[in-house]
Amino acid sequence: PECKHDSDMKMDDAMNLRRKIPMTATERTRLWRRRLKADPVRYEAYKRKERERRRNERMKMLNFFIDKSINSENYSPYLSTST
């Protein structure tokens, strides 16, 4: 009933306990990704959040440039939507 990478993970954890050496960031990321992919629901949620985050980043950049153009010296009243 147990899939391979779960037992792998248990072994990794046991080894880390035995070594008493902190995991490197890479190991942590690898374990985290493996656990995430093992759980389809959480994986879908994560992908959705990532897409959202990337879109927000893009919007932030766009808005930043738009703001810069509006706040620049040659601000044109015709650009304004409020008037």
Cα Dmax for the chain? 69
Please name the residue that has the structure tokens 């992919």: 37
Amino acid at 66: I
Predicted confidence pLDDT, tens digits, the chain (83 residues): 455 555 566 666 666 666 667 778 888 889 899 999 999 999 999 999 999 999 999 998 888 777 776 666 665 556 555 54
| Secondary structure (3-state) at 83 | coil
Quick one: how many helices (H) and strands (E) in the chain? 3, 0
40 CA to centre of own chain: 17
8 CA to centre of own chain: 25
